[in-house]
Amino acid sequence: MKTTKKLLIVMALFALLFTNATVAQDAETPQYYTVTTMHWNMENQDTTWVKTEKEYLEKVTKKNQYIMGAGFYLHRWSDDNTELKYVQVFSSWENIDKASTRNGELEKEAWPDEKVRTAFLKRQNDFYSVNHSDEIYAVLPGSKPLSSDLTEDKILYLQRQHFAFPKEGSNKEFNELNKEFVENVIHKNEYIKGYYPHMHAWGADRTEFMHAYFLDSMSDLEKMAERNGELVRAHWKTPESRKAFFEKYNKYTTGVHGDQVYTAIAELRK
């Protein structure tokens, strides 16, 4: 029990550190992502999914001032071909609740007739299975924002790592190491069009450390990895300097990670 409490306290300190680092910025910068993992209703043969979700996007989501951004990500390479993810971006924790209330108001404005509104929402919900899960993530420093909104579908490569909490480590050291790596490798990699790091804020796994990479194509996954290697060797020029850096850096994660690839749907983004 003492070990568990100690671990939770350390996690809380990590969360506080990163949250404070982002909240200190302009209030209208992204602070949280909500991620809903849904599953297709495989018995539904309706082919109007994009049309239906686009109508909701235009009439509700884009008009909701509490939602900074939103988008759908479809399975491309993961352990479940029925899954898709819906991600929303918020500038504060309070806006997550406010957005839900505002959605309800906008739905009534968009479809004033209750029967019409009920029918539309039922058709929308029928695309999905009743099974879903929800997570909330805190935005971390070091993002490489997309230069512009998507005009065509892109590849989202999602890597899930897990924080370790070494006794000999410190928040200061991790921040410095992470900043050095991100600025000298990820930000300089031309194949990475966007990069968004985030960590657990609410959900099933408190150790999650997520990296979301936007790429132009599947072939760029391999090119990205090769380019990362080149940039690592360019910044840490000797085997000894690379070994010293990564021995320090890698102690903050467990070494266990998972990889998933999704298609970011440009037509359904706010």
The confidence band for 3, taking pLDDT boundaries of 50, 70 and 90, is very low
pLDDT (tens digit per residue) in 87-110: 999 999 999 999 999 999 999 999
**How far is 195 from 188, CA to CA, in rounded Å?**
11
215 in a structural domain: yes
CATH code of residue 159: 3.30.70.100
- Residues 6 or more apart whose CB falls under 8 angstroms from that of 21 comprise 140, 141
112 in a structural domain: no
Q: Which two tokens stand for residue 17?
A: 């550190």
194 in a structural domain: yes
pTM: 0.87
**How far is 161 from 197, CA to CA, in rounded Å?**
11
What value does the mean pLDDT take over residues 132-148? 95
139 in a structural domain: no
SS (H, E, C) 41-67: CCCCCCCCHHHHHHHHHHHCHHHCCCC
Of 163, 162, 205, the closest CA to residue 14 belongs to 163
97 in a structural domain: no
The confidence band for 222, taking pLDDT boundaries of 50, 70 and 90, is very high
The confidence band for 117, taking pLDDT boundaries of 50, 70 and 90, is very high
pLDDT (tens digit per residue) in 18-56: 433 333 344 589 999 999 999 999 999 999 999 999 999
Residue 148: its pLDDT value, please? 84
45 in a structural domain: no
Residue 27: its pLDDT value, please? 54
71 in a structural domain: no
- CA 54-57-60 angle, to 5 degrees, is 140
What value does the mean pLDDT take over residues 174-198? 98
Of 80, 196, 219, 182, the closest CA to residue 138 belongs to 196
Does residue 5 or residue 221 have the better pLDDT? 221
Number of domains in the chain: 1
158 in a structural domain: yes
Q: Which two tokens stand for residue 159?
A: 């890597």
| Residue 247 belongs to domain spanning | 154-268
**How far is 64 from 77, CA to CA, in rounded Å?**
32
The answer on pLDDT for 1 being more than 50 is: no
Residue 20, Cβ density class (10 Å: 0-12 exposed, 13-18 middle, ≥19 buried):
exposed
What value does the mean pLDDT take over residues 234-259? 97
